[in-house]
Amino acid sequence: MNLAQQIINGLVLGSGYALIAIGWTVLLGAARLVNFAHGQLYMLAAFLAWAAMQQFGVDYYVAVPIAVLALGLLGVVLQGVMLPLVMKQNLTSLMIVTLGFGYVFQGGAARVFGGDPQRLISPLQAESIRYGDIWFTLQDVVTLAGTLLLFGFLWLVMNRTRLGALVRSVAEDPKLAQLFGINAARVYIGVFVFECAAVALGAGLVAPRSPILTSMGFDEVILTFVVVVLGGIGSVGGSLLAGFGLGMFTALFGALVSPAYTTAAAFLLLLIVLVTRPGGLAARR
């Protein structure tokens, strides 16, 4: 085994995990909302970008922003209809509702885009870079850089701006926030739009790695689940760390032990952590 190559693979995988997870992390932290349609949103974004390139012949560099924008709009609609439940913090019903949405997206996408596997082709994927034994593509570099930039930017916004304080205040106590003159509903919508747009960006950068299917849904992003919980509910820094950690784990586990059981092993890891530390690794309490 080429250890250096596996570490590169781990970094690349990890940046993808972290990027796809970030929206969910923020959503879970701010609105305590588990979005089980997350995987279908990823699928939808990938297919929207694909359709924009196939049907309208636009460039990859235009198709991805279109998908991000479209998903952002979808986020406004989705959170709009869920708002009464979110304001009541009826979390049980919300989880089931998002599961229902995911199922609708999956059925709807299969009808619109067909059941065949497709490829979202990025010109960057073809540009490979070689250094002796190790090998990666320009797409990998862009994904890694994009992830780090987005996380850095998000960290700054969350910790250094009034907007970030607004989100954190609603996360801590939406009722109290109302007395501060804060419209919690608007914060919830904003956070949900961010999750949808972020997962669309993640899809735009990560989906070119492998064929896309309308049925891929959760399976494709299932590992981001681990990232979100391992990183600590709502912790931006924790998610980045957990994303890279998980990337390394899957790359090395796949190379050293068995590629077939990688997901199961990652989840087993999650179960062990949750039994010992129910709040995730970054939990303060």
Binding track, positions 250-279, relative to other proteins; x by CB under 8 A: ----------xx-xx--xx-xx--xx--x-
* Residue 86 lies near other proteins (rule: CB under 8 A): no
**Looking at 178, 237, 252, 281, which residue binds other proteins (CB under 8 A)?**
178
What is the secondary structure of 169-186 as a DSSP string?
HHHH-HHHHHHTT--HHH
Over the window 145 to 174, marking each residue x when it contacts other proteins by CB under 8 A and - when it does not, the resulting string is: -----------------x--xx-xx-xxx-
User: Cα torsion at 25, 33, 285, 184 (round to 10°)?
Assistant: 100
CB of 270 to other proteins, least distance (A): 6
Which residue intervals of 32-119 are DSSP H helices?
38-55, 60-87, 91-113
The residue with tokens 């299917």 is 213
Any idea what the Cα angle at residue 246 is, between residues 96 and 94, rounded to 5°? 10
**Contact between 184 and 178 (Cβ < 8 Å):** yes
First to last CA, the chain: 40
Q: How far is CA 1 from the centre of its chain?
A: 30
Site for other proteins in 194-253 (CB under 8 A): 217-218, 222, 225-226, 229, 233
- Residue 182: CB minimum distance to other proteins, A: 6
Interface ranges with other proteins (CB under 8 A): 28, 32, 34, 81-82, 84-85, 90-93, 95-97, 99-108, 110-111, 162, 165-166, 168-169, 171-173, 175-184, 217-218, 222, 225-226, 229, 233, 260-261, 263-264, 267-268, 270-271, 274-275, 278
